[in-house]
């Protein structure tokens, strides 16, 4: 009996073992490093395929989910409160040649394994727009021979009546940028020929300065055939009451008054991705990661470089890095070169530089340099170390770092006008369109479920016009919801004063026609105070630098 039963038992055991070790067929990276991004890091960078690695730097979980599943950020709902707050660095090694779609699937697997991410898809009504024709439209039927499509061009009065800026948009087929002068009120014109209403509705989202989100625009005009028409509107304004002044026309106003159509807000059934859960702390990296995925050495110096003074009268200030690590600089003053040299690649801020000679602003230089072929891919975020080595060699740069009093700011309490936050909502601060009727140059910040310490840190790095770090001294506990509208033009007008908006300067009284400076807005709209001070901070002191570079070798 034993000769019969034992093989049967072994066979059953082997089958059970195979079931317990089912092969994981999900697409996977061969190896991956997942780390919390350094504190103060700014600027999400997506670098698939760089140096044979798949690299995402300073990415929130919302960024990671958006890339992995192909959903716009505003169509990713739910999830924990930190979904837009915490930032991560991911460097992964794909298994040989992989397509972008394969990399997305591999990122999905990584998020499932390392963060225990769980998601599902639904269709939900979310805010959007519909294009309708409640009255007879002011459109001309197309002959059918015109080239189809809508193209931007300068609005009327852009030159003769004093325009309000210039746009450069990408040329067709990757050609040279096209210059478009804006008319008064930041207006631009789209010329549409042989265009169906379906094509017009579909293209509204991509029109410059339309700001109507990423949801599809429902086409409900009932108009058949193709049409010729022009539409002129002010950049960044959407709603019917958004103009605020005679020379500013919102997109909805333009569509209504110029075309006889309506752009109406509507709840639009839209596919969305629901985040059911995710761990805030990723699982540890594999202990043998450095052997499986050895780090690529960064660029610390250029292989070869040509440095020459720019020709007199040459164009000013261009710099770029080509694929392969070739740096091209044309007409760049020394001060700018030093600012790029000492810019922190994490938060993009440059330490104060003192001790420069006068020629650092007047003398311009052309540089062509090549990174070593075995080093990491060079880009504008990583040129600091090799540029410093170049300046030391060719301009005999000598410097030291010391602590000096520099502008800084403290956020202090007054009579808070903010709303206590729902702790389950996502933590975020986002830029948004200024309210209807706001002066030109206004900008709104919408913050949700954010502490005062987080808000102070956000202002330190997110370009609100302050030239120093902000610390929290409010003593306010918990998290808050609020909006804040300020105006860069008002801040420029206040530079001659003596307060926060000018570094260690107090702004002049706000002009109702130009809006509030950031410090005025914080006081009047939030009931807080932004006080200027000086704090010791590291400063670059240039001890020596020569005006003429040494000769090329």
Q: What is the pLDDT of residues 337-357, one digit of tens each?
A: 999 888 876 555 677 899 999
Q: What is the mean pLDDT of the chain?
A: 84
Domain boundaries, the chain: 31-117, 128-271, 297-395, 406-540
| pTM of the shown model | 0.77
pLDDT digits (tens, 9 = 90+) for 316-345: 678 888 877 889 999 999 999 999 888 876
32-48 mean pLDDT? 82
Strand (E) or helix (H) holding 493: helix 488-493
Please enumerate in sequence order all residues whose Cβ is within 8 A of that of 411, keeping only pairs 6 or more positions apart, or say none. Answer: 452, 455, 456, 459, 470, 471, 472, 473, 474, 522, 528, 529, 530
| DSSP-derived secondary structure for 284-344 | PPPTTHHHHSPPPPPP-S-SEEEEEEPPTTPPP-EEEEETTTEEEEEEEEHHHHHHHHTB-
235-261 mean pLDDT? 75
In this structure, are residues 523 and 515 in contact, taking their beta carbons and an 8 Å threshold?
Answer: no
pLDDT of residue 5: 41
**Which position has the higher pLDDT, 523 or 214?**
523
Confidence of residue 530 (pLDDT cuts 50, 70, 90): very high
pLDDT at 502 over 50: no
CB burial class (10 A; 0-12, 13-18, 19+) of residue 541?
A: middle
Any idea how long the chain is? 553
Please enumerate in sequence order all residues whose Cβ is within 8 A of that of 257, keeping only pairs 6 or more positions apart, or say none. Answer: 249
In this structure, are residues 211 and 205 in contact, taking their beta carbons and an 8 Å threshold?
Answer: no
58-67 mean pLDDT? 96
Name the phi and psi angles at 341, rounded to 5.
-65, -40
pLDDT at 508 over 60: no
pLDDT digits (tens, 9 = 90+) for 88-107: 999 999 998 889 999 999 99
CA distances from 262 to 121, 130, 135, 250, 266 (A): 32, 8, 9, 12, 12
Three-point CA angle 370, 374, 377, nearest 5°: 60
pLDDT digits (tens, 9 = 90+) for 294-307: 988 888 999 889 99
Measured over the CA atoms of residue 326, residue 330, residue 332 and residue 336, the dihedral's sign is negative
């Amino acid at each position: 009996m034993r000769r019969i039963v034992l093989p049967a038992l072994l066979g059953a055991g082997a089958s059970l073992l195979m079931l317990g070790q089912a092969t994981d067929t999900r697409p996977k990276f061969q190896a991956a490093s997942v780390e919390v991004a350094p504190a103060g890091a700014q600027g999400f960078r997506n670098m698939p395929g760089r140096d044979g690695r798949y690299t995402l730097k300073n990415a929130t979980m919302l960024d990671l989910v958006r890339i992995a599943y192909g959903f716009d950020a505003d169509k990713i709902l739910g999830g924990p409160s930190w979904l837009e707050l915490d930032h991560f660095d991911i460097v992964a090694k794909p298994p040989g040649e992989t397509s972008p779609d394969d990399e997305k699937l591999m990122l999905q697997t990584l998020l499932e394994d390392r963060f225990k991410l769980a998601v599902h898809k639904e269709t939900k009504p979310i805010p959007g727009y519909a294009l309708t024709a409640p009255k007879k439209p002011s459109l001309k039927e197309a002959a059918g021979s015109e080239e189809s499509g809508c193209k931007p061009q300068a609005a009327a009065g852009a030159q003769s009546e004093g325009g309000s800026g210039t746009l450069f948009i990408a040329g067709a087929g990757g050609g040279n940028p096209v210059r478009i002068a804006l008319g008064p009120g930041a207006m631009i014109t789209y010329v549409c020929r042989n265009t169906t209403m379906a094509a017009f509705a579909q293209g509204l989202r991509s029109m410059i300065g339309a700001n109507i989100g990423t949801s599809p625009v429902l086409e409900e005009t009932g108009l058949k055939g193709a049409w010729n028409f022009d539409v002129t509107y002010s950049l960044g304004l959407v709603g019917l009451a958004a103009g605020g002044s005679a020379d500013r026309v919102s997109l909805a106003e333009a569509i209504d008054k110029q075309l006889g159509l309506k752009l109406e807000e509507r709840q639009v059934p839209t596919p969305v991705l629901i985040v059911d859960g995710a761990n805030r702390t990723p699982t540890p990296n594999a202990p043998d990661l450095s052997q499986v995925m050895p780090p690529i050495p960064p660029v610390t110096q250029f292989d070869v470089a040509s440095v020459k003074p720019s020709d007199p009268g040459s164009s000013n200030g261009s710099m770029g890095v080509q694929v392969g690590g070739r740096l091209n600089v044309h007409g760049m003053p020394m001060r700018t070169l030093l600012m790029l040299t000492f810019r922190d690649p994490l938060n993009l801020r440059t330490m104060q530089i003192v001790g420069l000679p006068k020629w650092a602003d007047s003398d311009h230089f052309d540089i062509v340099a090549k990174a070593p072929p075995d080093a990491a891919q060079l880009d504008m975020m990583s040129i600091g170390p090799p540029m410093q080595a170049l300046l030391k060699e060719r301009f005999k740069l000598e410097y030291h770092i010391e602590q000096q009093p520099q502008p800084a700011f403290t956020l202090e309490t007054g009579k808070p006008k903010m709303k206590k936050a729902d702790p389950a909502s996502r933590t975020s601060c986002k830029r948004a369109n200024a309210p209807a009727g706001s002066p030109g140059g206004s900008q709104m910040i919408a913050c949700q479920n954010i502490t005062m310490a987080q808000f102070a840190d956000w202002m330190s790095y997110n370009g609100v016009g302050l030239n120093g770090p902000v610390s929290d001294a409010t003593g306010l506990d918990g998290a808050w919801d609020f909006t804040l509208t300020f105006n860069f033009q008002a801040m420029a007008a206040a530079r001659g004063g003596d307060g926060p908006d000018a570094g260690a300067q107090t702004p002049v009284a706000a002009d109702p026609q130009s809006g509030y400076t950031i410090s005025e807005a914080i006081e009047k709209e939030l009931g807080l105070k932004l006080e200027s001070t000086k704090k010791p901070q590291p400063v670059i002191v240039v001890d020596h630098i020569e005006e003429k570079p040494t000769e090329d070798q």
